[in-house]
Amino acid sequence: MSETHTIEHDAKARIAAAADLAALEALRVEFLGKQGSVSALMKTLGKMSPEERQTKGPEIQALRQAVTDELAARKDVLEAAALEAKLAAETLDLTLPAPEAPRGSVHPVSQVMDELAEIFADLGFAVATGPEIEDDWYNFTALNMPESHPARAMHDTFYFPDPAPSGAASGSNAGRMVLRTHTSPVQVRTMMDVVKENPAGAPLRIIAPGRVYRSDSDATHTPMFHQIEGLVIDKGIHLGHLKWTLETFLKAFFENEDIVIRLRPSYFPFTEPSVEADVGFALVEGKRVLGGSGDEPGHGWMELLGSGMVNRRVIEMSGLDPDQWQGFAFGVGVDRLAMLKYGMDDLRAFFDGDARWLSHYGFPALAQPTLSAGVGERA
């Protein structure tokens, strides 16, 4: 056998036996590298006679091509095998559960606020927010509570010590800053924004949820608590609209079509007439179960929220014409709603930050309340 045949035979056998890409690369250097055996043969061409080169030339070129092809073919096979091995070693089982990790929970107050936003969004209400440190005017005066009004004392307000820099007449509360005692000032601000945008006025449907503050602390009162107020302004609004809205909201919130409410005359400076809404309950094994008229034997009425037709003086102070625009408003404690719906009996535990309480009463962070899935579902 000629030398080219010997080399080709040897190369084919060893390339076929190369176990990995590194071994194959060593063979490439051995045959085709600068000092390689095929390269050495190429160099002999120069010293040959033209006749010899005529026959040996193509033979050596063919050898070089054959070895190159063998190397490339083996490389493809080895690379495919390497990829297969890598894929087999690196598979991820995407059906495995996520690893254990610290998990927070959504506080029942946040959950209830989300539920309320969802329920009222469905009724066409937008969510309005505003400052917790309020100007005395927005918190009281604009709500028909002049300085002499006993309701200001009724509210046990946290006043800031210094008058606001804008400077009001001394000896007056005007310009004084307070921790807002209700979210009504948010609604006043929203009405005034509407007038700024449109001096003739425009209809409005908002809820104003958030923190409010009163200097009051006992088993059933905390100095900070959560309130949600609702306000509808339009033409020809009457108590019937208020009653339907409250009934519809409470049925959706408690996920109970049997909820019955009773409106009872009351007094708030910012509404006229003012009505308190009671919700009927039945006593079942000593526990209050909401639903049905409270007038049946073994039933009763529970005071739940305050509301009324917006006082025309409030509409006027917000810059709207009270002969054109009417409205209703209501206010309810969010903490109280959460306790009633989810069965907590101690308000103070809401603000202790006890991790065991939070993991027991909290909600999964990824479970957003929706009307279609049920506003109060835990999973």
Binding site for ligand 2NL (CB under 6 A): 184, 187-188, 227, 229, 231, 268, 270-271, 305-308, 310, 314, 329-331
- Which two three-digit tokens encode residue 102? 């610290």
Least Å distance between CB 304 and ligand 2NL? 9
Q: Give, in order, the Cα–Cα distances in Å from 163 to each of 176, 181, 373.
A: 5, 18, 49
**β-strands 133-135, 176-179 pairing:** antiparallel
CA distance 42 to 44: 5
CA distance 344 to 227: 17
CA distance 110 to 133: 21
231 versus 347: smaller Cβ distance to ligand 2NL: 231
Least Å distance between CB 313 and ligand 2NL? 10
28 versus 155: smaller Cβ distance to ligand 2NL: 155
138 versus 361: smaller Cβ distance to ligand 2NL: 138
CA distance 116 to 110: 10
Which position has the token pair 């300085």?
147
- Which two three-digit tokens encode residue 58? 């193509």
Least Å distance between CB 354 and ligand 2NL? 26
56 versus 226: smaller Cβ distance to ligand 2NL: 226
Least Å distance between CB 229 and ligand 2NL? 5
36 versus 306: smaller Cβ distance to ligand 2NL: 306
Q: Which of 205, 233, 207, 195 is nearest to 326 (CA)?
A: 233
Residue nearest ligand 2NL (C-beta atom): 331
70 versus 276: smaller Cβ distance to ligand 2NL: 276
CA distance 121 to 295: 33
Q: Contact, 369 vs 377, CB < 8 A?
A: yes
What crossing angle do the helices spanning 37-44 and 3-17 adopt, rounded to 10°? Answer: 160
Least Å distance between CB 331 and ligand 2NL? 2
Q: Is 272 annotated as a binding residue?
A: yes
Least Å distance between CB 362 and ligand 2NL? 25
Mark the binding-site residues for Mg(2+), compressed into ranges: 272
Mark the binding-site residues, compressed into ranges: 272
